[in-house]
Structures are given as C-alpha cells and as structure tokens.
C-alpha cells in the first residue's frame, strides 16, 4: 500500500561551474527550468507534499519553485554541509509528515515518472529504503553502490572515501532515494561528517537503515536518465537527450518529423495527429498544433495555436497570442503576434500582423503591415471576414476594416473602412502616352553625339 509522499527537492547548489549569474537549477531545458522539470516530475508521481531546499539569498529559485508548485514549502539551507544536511533543512516538513520520504536533486532533470514509480514500488514491496542506481560508463566521482550477494544494498561509498576495490564498482548512485521509515529524522540525525569531504552524506543513511534491520533496495535505470548538470556542456547534453525523447514520443503519437534531429520542441508542445513538421523548426513554450497542420521549414513558434489543416511557413514566425483557425495559411516571412485569424484566412508573404484580428477567409496581401505601435501604446487592427487587403498596405491602428471590404494596394489606411467598400489611399496614376519612346530616342541620340 502506498502512503502519503513528501518529496524533498535539493536545489541549494550554486553551480559555480555553470559560470552564470543565474542559479544552476534555473537554467532551462526545452524552455523550462531544471527545477521546473523536477517539480513537474514530483507532482506527476503524486507527491502529496513538496519541500524545496534552496541556498541563502536564492530568491529567484524560491519564486520559480512557488510558480511551478504553489503548494510547495521552501526551506533555506544556510551552509551547504552535504546532502543529508540539505534534507534536514526541511526538518519541519519531515517531522510533520506521516508517510514516505522521497529525495530528488534539482539538477537531475531527465528522470521519468515510470522510473520513480518503480523506485517507490520497492517501498511497497517491503524495502525501508530504495536507491536509484545505474551502470556508469565512467564511474568517476559518483558514489558506489555496494551490494550483498542477495542483491540488496549494503552501503553507498562516496568515491573519495572508497577503497581501490570499491572504486572499481561501476554500479553508481544517482542521488535519488526513497524512504519508508517510522522515524526518518532519527536516521538522518545520526548521520555524521567523518569522511573525506567533511560533509553530511545522505548516502550514509543506507548503512544506518541496514544496521537497524531495514532492507535497502536498488532500482536501476539508464545512465542518461540520471545525467546531472553541473556545467554548460552537460546542460546541452541534457537538452539533446530531452529532445530525442520528445521527438520519438511525437512520432509515436502520429506526427511526421521529416528530419527529427532538427526540430526543437518545448516541454509543453502539443502536436496533433498527422501534423507534418519540416526541417529546422523551433518551438518555444506554449504551442499547440492541431491535426493535419503543416509547419514548413525554418519556422519559429512560441505561445501560438495553429488550427487543424493550417499551413505555416517556410520562414514564418508565430509569437505569443497568434491564434490560427482551421486551414489558415501563414507564408514566408510573415510574423504574427497577438492576432487571431479566422478559418481560411491567408497571409502568404512578407507581412507583420500584430495586435488585432483577421476574419475568416480574409486575404492579407504581400507586404501588409499592421502599424500597431505609436512609440508609446499598442493599438489593434481588426480586419473583417472576407476582406481583401491589397499588397503593401499599412493599416495604422487603431483601425477597423469591415467585412468584405477591399483595400487598394499601397494604401496607408488611417480611418475605419465600412463593410464591402473599397478604400484607396494613393495619388491618381498619371500616364503620358509615347513619353518613353521619345525619351529613349533623345537619349540615344545624345549618347551617340558624345561618343564621336
Ligand atoms: C551525490 C551523492 C553521490 C551520487 C551523486 C550523483 C551524496 C553524499 N553523494 O554526490 O553518491 O553518486 O550525487 O550525482 O549524496 N546539495 C545541497 N546542499 C548541500 C549539498 C548538496 O542542496 O549541502 C544538493 C546539490 O545542489 C545537488 C545535490 O544536492 O543538487 C547533490 O550534491 P552534490 O554536491 O552535487 O553531490 P555529489 O558529490 O555529486
Ligand atoms: Mg553532483
């Protein structure tokens, strides 16, 4: 039987090796902070209570934690004296919790819910402690998992404290641990710091639990899943692993990615069935693409909704608030921001549509600009259903073009246009018959005279 779960997320590390103004755990993978990923994992596996341990002065980390998980409690670890000390920073939460305790590192963002369920499942099978381990290609500085003949865990030895024989062990500690103990604080409080680093190691809980008669289990996962991020190279590696997973998932769900390795998805990208994505497409956060839509090469989308059957790109940019109805066409070098386009509307070439709306089946000609900004305020442009905006028109907001109206090419429209009207704003065409022929003849004669 599973019990209420308190998840403690350790996020106190400054991450000096990132060489960044930003605390390490706020660096992003697929558009979401590493802390955000880990909080989502904790919430996804049913963490009933969440505690996040941050370092002193890490207000941005606190804010991010509370934005992602408003029910979380944030604790400050004043001095970083080791992972056990970090967990104990959440003492108050642990003391007030009757149930299981689960520890995650905020800089280990790729763990899957399935793996966590396996780990917590060990507690249901009677383990007092379960550790997530992996076979390391290069065990390096990881803690080594020392197992008994029956496969249970006897101890974790940190690399710096390990004998040569122990260092040869490739089975390593990911840092993720779950406890089912009557009094976890009794165990945590008994952990000392008599070791090579002089730190309070959470890993020492294993030997203590064993000594108390409890069973410690190991659950294995792939090394990639427990990649810890300490430097920018690992951040990029984590991003690559995350993207590979997300692309595979999208394809499994019926999305065509012509060159999957060139498509960049965000943590919350939603792609419908039979969506086709051409090479070199980037999704920022907040994009939904409905069934059968096509995103052509080299497009950038963020905070946008693309309706079923719509066509976007090549080289299109959809910014936050771009809402495209069914079968809308947004073509090359068109930027859309905070504009809703009704079903069947088209803007196929070289336009900026910012702040407004375009009715269904309206046609926005090449080079149309919604002049939405006067240097101080933003204003809206409303184009009615079935309207036709001729090429190279500037619609100076605030302005409304009625349903079915026509705008002559090259117009600068500053006043509202009634439905079904034609609005033209340009000087009348002046034509001089025969002028070009006369001009050419005269110039040719002049040139010939000079040449002599
Ligand atoms: C830890 C494990 C090691 C494991 C490795 C996996 C211990 C003693 N060792 O070692 O067995 O193989 O992770 O990556 O647990 N933290 C705090 N406060 C502290 C110390 C750490 O919040 O005082 C946080 C860090 O921000 C980090 C995590 O705990 O998110 C792990 O700490 P770190 O110092 O990286 O431990 P490792 O030496 O990598
Ligand atoms: Mg580490």
CATH of the domain at 55: 3.90.550.10
Which tens digit of pLDDT belongs to each residue from 326-336?
Answer: 999 999 999 99
DSSP state of 213: T
Q: Are residues 211 and 311 in the same domain?
A: no
* Residue whose C-alpha is closest to residue 281's, from 294, 267, 268: 294
| Three-state DSSP class for residue 235 | helix
Q: Are residues 295 and 331 in the same domain?
A: yes
Q: Are 219 and 133 in contact (CB under 8 A)?
A: yes
The pLDDT of residue 134 is 98
**Atom 3, ligand 1: which residue's CA is nearest?**
143
What angle is formed at CA 77 by the lines to CA 74 and CA 80, rounded to 5 degrees? Answer: 145
In a domain, 291, yes or no: yes
**Atom 28, ligand 1: which residue's CA is nearest?**
105
Joined together, the tokens standing for residue 233 give 């190279």
State mean pLDDT over 269-280: 98
**Residue 195: count of CB within 10 angstroms of its CB:** 16
pLDDT at 409 over 80: yes
Q: Are residues 210 and 327 in the same domain?
A: no
* Residue whose C-alpha is closest to residue 202's, from 220, 212, 216, 189: 189
pLDDT band at 1 (very low <50, low <70, confident <90, very high): low
What is the tally of structural domains in the chain?
2
Q: Are residues 202 and 307 in the same domain?
A: no
pLDDT at 137 over 90: yes
**Residue 401: count of CB within 10 angstroms of its CB:** 28
In a domain, 343, yes or no: yes
Q: Are residues 251 and 217 in the same domain?
A: no
CA 88 to chain centre: 31
Q: Is 329 a catalytic residue?
A: no
Q: Are residues 104 and 154 in the same domain?
A: yes
**CATH number (domain holding residue 329):** 2.160.10.10
In a domain, 432, yes or no: no
State mean pLDDT over 162-167: 97
Backbone dihedral angles phi then psi of residue 324, each to the nearest 5 degrees: -105, 125
Cα–Cα distances in angstroms (integers) from residue 415 to residues 131, 382, 424, in the given order: 69, 12, 11
Pocket residues for ligand 1 (CB within 6 Å)?
10, 12-13, 53, 77, 80-83, 85-86, 105-107, 142-143, 156, 158, 172-175, 201-203, 228
Q: Which of 226, 246, 274 is the last residue of a domain?
A: 226
Which residues, 6+ apart, have CB-to-CB distance to 220 below 8 Å? 132, 133, 134, 135
In a domain, 250, yes or no: yes
**Residue 45: count of CB within 10 angstroms of its CB:** 20
pLDDT at 117 over 80: yes
DSSP state of 428: P
In a domain, 449, yes or no: no
Which residues, 6+ apart, have CB-to-CB distance to 186 below 8 Å? none
What angle is formed at CA 49 by the lines to CA 16 and CA 179, rounded to 5 degrees? Answer: 80
Q: Which atom of ligand 1 is nearest to the CA of 108?
A: 30
Q: Are residues 205 and 316 in the same domain?
A: no
pLDDT band at 46 (very low <50, low <70, confident <90, very high): confident
pLDDT at 294 over 80: yes
State mean pLDDT over 18-42: 97
Roughly how many angstroms between the first and final C-alpha of the chain, as a whole number?
Answer: 107
**Of the ligands numbered here, which is closest to the C-alpha atom of 88?**
1
* Residue whose C-alpha is closest to residue 357's, from 373, 376, 343: 343
pLDDT band at 47 (very low <50, low <70, confident <90, very high): confident
pLDDT band at 407 (very low <50, low <70, confident <90, very high): very high
Burial class of 110 by CB neighbour count within 10 A (0 to 12, 13 to 18, 19+)? buried
Q: Are residues 291 and 154 in the same domain?
A: no
In a domain, 439, yes or no: no
Q: Which of 176, 199, 226 is the last residue of a domain?
A: 226
How much is the mean pLDDT over the chain? Answer: 97
Q: Are residues 217 and 173 in the same domain?
A: yes
Q: Which of 199, 226, 253 is the last residue of a domain?
A: 226
Q: Are residues 322 and 178 in the same domain?
A: no
Which tens digit of pLDDT belongs to each residue from 245-267?
Answer: 999 999 999 999 999 999 999 99
What angle is formed at CA 31 by the lines to CA 355 and CA 114, rounded to 5 degrees? Answer: 130
pLDDT band at 358 (very low <50, low <70, confident <90, very high): very high
Joined together, the tokens standing for residue 145 give 């998992």
Near ion ligand 2, which residues have CB within 5 Å? 228
Q: Are residues 207 and 103 in the same domain?
A: yes
**Residue 423: count of CB within 10 angstroms of its CB:** 19
pLDDT band at 271 (very low <50, low <70, confident <90, very high): very high
Given ligand 1 and candidates 175, 201, 230, which is best to mutate, with the most ligand atoms within 8 Å of its CB? Answer: 175
The range of the structural domain enclosing residue 89 comes to 5-226
Which tens digit of pLDDT belongs to each residue from 193-224?
Answer: 999 999 999 999 999 999 999 999 999 999 99
Length of the chain: 452
pLDDT at 115 over 80: yes
The pLDDT of residue 48 is 83
pLDDT at 179 over 90: yes
Of the chain, the percentage scoring pLDDT greater than 70 comes to 100
């Amino acid at each position: 039987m599973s019990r209420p779960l308190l998840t403690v997320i350790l996020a106190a590390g400054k991450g000096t090796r990132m060489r960044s103004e930003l605390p390490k755990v706020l660096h992003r993978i697929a558009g979401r902070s590493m802390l955000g990923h880990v909080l989502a994992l904790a919430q996804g596996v049913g963490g009933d209570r969440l505690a996040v341990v941050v370092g002193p002065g890490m207000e941005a980390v606190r804010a991010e934690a509370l934005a992602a998980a408003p029910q979380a409690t944030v604790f400050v670890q004043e001095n970083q004296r080791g992972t056990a000390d970090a967990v104990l920073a959440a003492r108050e939460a642990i003391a007030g919790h009757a149930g299981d305790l689960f520890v995650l590192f905020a800089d280990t963002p790729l763990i899957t819910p399935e793996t966590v369920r396996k780990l917590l499942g060990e507690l249901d099978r009677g383990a007092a402690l379960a550790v997530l381990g992996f076979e390391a290609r290069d065990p390096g500085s990881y803690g080594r998992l020392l197992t008994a003949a029956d496969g249970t865990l006897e101890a974790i030895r940190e690399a710096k404290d390990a004998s040569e024989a122990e260092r040869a062990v490739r089975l390593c500690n990911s840092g993720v641990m779950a406890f089912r103990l009557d009094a976890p604080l009794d165990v945590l409080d008994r952990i000392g710091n008599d070791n090579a680093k002089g730190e309070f190691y959470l890993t020492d809980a294993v030997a203590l639990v064993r000594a108390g008669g409890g069973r410690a289990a190991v659950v294995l996962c792939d090394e990639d899943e427990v990649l810890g991020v300490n430097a920018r190279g690992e951040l990029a590696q984590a991003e690559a692993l995350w993207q590979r997973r997300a692309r595979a998932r999208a394809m499994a769900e019926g999305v065509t990615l012509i060159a999957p390795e060139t498509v960049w998805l965000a943590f919350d990208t939603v792609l419908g069935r039979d969506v086709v994505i051409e090479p070199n497409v980037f999704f920022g956060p907040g994009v939904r693409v409905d069934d059968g839509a096509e995103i052509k090469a080299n497009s950038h989308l963020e905070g946008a909704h693309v309706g079923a059957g719509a066509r976007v790109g090549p080289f299109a940019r959809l910014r936050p608030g771009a809402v495209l109805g069914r079968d809308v066409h947004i073509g090359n070098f068109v930027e859309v921001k905070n504009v809703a386009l009704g079903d069947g509307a088209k803007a196929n070439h070289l336009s900026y549509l910012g702040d407004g709306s375009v009715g269904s089946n309206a046609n926005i000609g090449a080079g149309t600009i919604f002049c939405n900004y006067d240097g101080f305020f933003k204003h809206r442009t409303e184009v009615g259903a079935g309207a036709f905006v001729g090429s190279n028109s500037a619609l100076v907001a605030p302005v409304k073009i009625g349903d079915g109206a026509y705008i002559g090419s090259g117009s600068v429209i500053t006043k509202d246009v009634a439905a079904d009207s034609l609005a033209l704003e340009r000087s009348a065409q002046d034509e001089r018959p025969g002028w070009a022929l006369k001009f050419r003849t005269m110039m040719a004669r002049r040139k010939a005279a000079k040449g002599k």
